[in-house]
Amino acid sequence: MLDLVQRRKREGKDTIMLCAGQPSTGAPLPAIEAVTQVLNDDALGYTEVVGDAQLRQIIADWHSKTYGVDTEAHSVVITTGSSGGFVNAFLACLDAGDTVALPNPGYPAYRNILESLGGNIVTMETDASTRFQPTADHLEELRKSGEDIKAVMVTSPGNPTGTIIDPAELERIAAWCDANGAWLISDEDYHGMSFGRPEATARQFSKNAVVVGTLSKYYSMTGWRVGWLILPDALLEPVENLQASLALCAPAVSQVAARGAFTDAARETLDGYVEDYRSVREVLLEELPKIGLDTFADPDGGLYLWVDVSKYTQDSEAWCHELVDKIGVAFAPGIDFDPTGGNTWVRLSLCSTPELAREACARLDDYLN
């Protein structure tokens, strides 16, 4: 997909990008100012393996205040983005051959990382009846079928669906994991980007839960490569040892920037970005049904809209390539997120402007209808 977009760019043709989960906005000013202040008077060498002590305390305080839980700095480990967090968490929680339950549709990196580490993957098949979020019933059905599940992955707001798991259901999943000796790994990368539905952290319901966070989404700092894990005590030493071998530490300068990103001044800017995403969402929800694309996951938050395109194609990958080539509109093919049923779905990103979203829908309408 990106190769096609780059080719069009070389040919002088425009493309409306509704495929990438990357905010088009930059880091908030307080993050930049924090870095500027240290560049001339700080050597910026390695931090502690588990991360800068000040940043860990900031994240612990923020998590405690936001969710009403008691989060201590010693349970926070700073990672190289959430990607580094996933690798550390999977390696610490699992042995080769262990079974992990993943939501489907879901973020493809989970599957790719786990397969590279020798994990055995089973899926929790979600749809509109579960608001495209997994349930404890999914897990119980897998258990009854003979699956020995060692870890469960949840993502809320979801990628690619944009749905937020109901707090009561997250509590049920956490209770199931505790009762069945499974780790609950909660991808909370898109927290802070709700359009009104309440967000809950898995740590509200289980001290055994592993929480994954990042600066890349709400904080609009993709290239800075800072994420974090909030861990139960049993995983602190294994994760520290893994981090020491795999990354040594997250980038020091980025950890300084992260301190600035957690200030009230930064949040004022970042909350404005969320309103921008909401505006794009409203345009898409208004315009897509006019084209005949009226079946989609209810987008509660995050950066995405998950759209049923079965009216127009049974091959989402080929269709997305066709749209880029013919009308200069780029969506992400659903097959990337759902290997079994994604051929009739696409993911649209809210990382755009209302004007471009409206223009993309107009081009699509002209082409299809």
Q: What is the pLDDT of residues 115-167, one digit of tens each?
A: 999 999 999 999 999 999 999 999 999 999 999 999 999 999 999 999 999 99
Number of neighbours of residue 83 by Cβ within 10 angstroms: 16
State the alpha helices, DSSP H only, in 181-251: 233-246
State the alpha helices, DSSP H only, in 193-297: 233-246, 252-261, 264-291
Instruction: Give the strand pairing for 120-125 and 99-104.
Output: parallel
Burial 345-356 (b: 16+ CB within 10 A, else e): bbbbbbbbebeb
Q: Using CB atoms within 10 A of its CB, is residue 256 exposed (0-12), middle (13-18) or buried (19+)? A: buried
Confidence of residue 52 (pLDDT cuts 50, 70, 90): very high
Asked if residue 31 has pLDDT above 80, the reply is yes
Both tokens of 195, joined, read 């359009």
Q: What pTM does this model have?
A: 0.95
Confidence of residue 11 (pLDDT cuts 50, 70, 90): confident
Integer Cα distance of 284 and 76 in angstroms: 38
Asked if residue 110 has pLDDT above 80, the reply is yes
Burial 152-187 (b: 16+ CB within 10 A, else e): bbbbbbbbbbbbbbbbebbbbbbebbbeeebbbbbb
Which secondary-structure segment (H or E) carries 187? strand 183-187
Both tokens of 69, joined, read 């839980």
Asked if residue 2 has pLDDT above 90, the reply is no
Predicted local confidence at residue 106, as pLDDT:
98
Q: What is the pLDDT of residues 167-212, one digit of tens each?
A: 999 999 999 999 999 999 999 999 999 999 999 999 999 999 999 9
What percentage of the chain reaches a pLDDT higher than 70?
100
In contact, 176 and 136? CB cutoff 8 Å: yes
CATH architecture label of 1-27+266-368: Alpha-Beta Complex (3.90)
Predicted local confidence at residue 40, as pLDDT:
76
81-93 and 233-246 helices, crossing angle to 10°: 120
Beta-bridged to residue 227, according to DSSP, are: 79, 214
Confidence of residue 42 (pLDDT cuts 50, 70, 90): confident
Instruction: Give the strand pairing for 149-155 and 183-187.
Output: parallel
3-state helix, strand, coil in the chain (%, to 5): 50, 15, 35
Tokens 């944009």 correspond to what residue?
162
Asked if the bond preceding 134 is cis, omega within 30° of 0, the reply is no
**Cα R_g (the chain), whole angstroms:** 21
Predicted local confidence at residue 256, as pLDDT:
96
Predicted local confidence at residue 21, as pLDDT:
87
The phi, psi pair for 100, rounded to 5°, reads: -120, 135
Domain 30-262, CATH among 3.40.640.10, 3.90.550.60, 3.30.70.141, 2.60.40.10: 3.40.640.10
Rounded mean pLDDT of the chain? 96
Confidence of residue 8 (pLDDT cuts 50, 70, 90): confident
Predicted local confidence at residue 348, as pLDDT:
98
Domain boundaries, the chain: 1-27+266-368, 30-262
Helices then strands, each counted (H, E), the chain: 12, 12
Q: Which residue has the higher pLDDT, 180 or 8?
A: 180
Q: What is the pLDDT of residues 246-305, one digit of tens each?
A: 999 999 999 999 999 999 999 999 999 999 999 999 999 999 999 999 999 989 999 999
For residue 337, CA distances in Å to 73, 102, 140, 274, 330 come to 34, 11, 23, 24, 16
How large is the average pLDDT for residues 55-59? 99
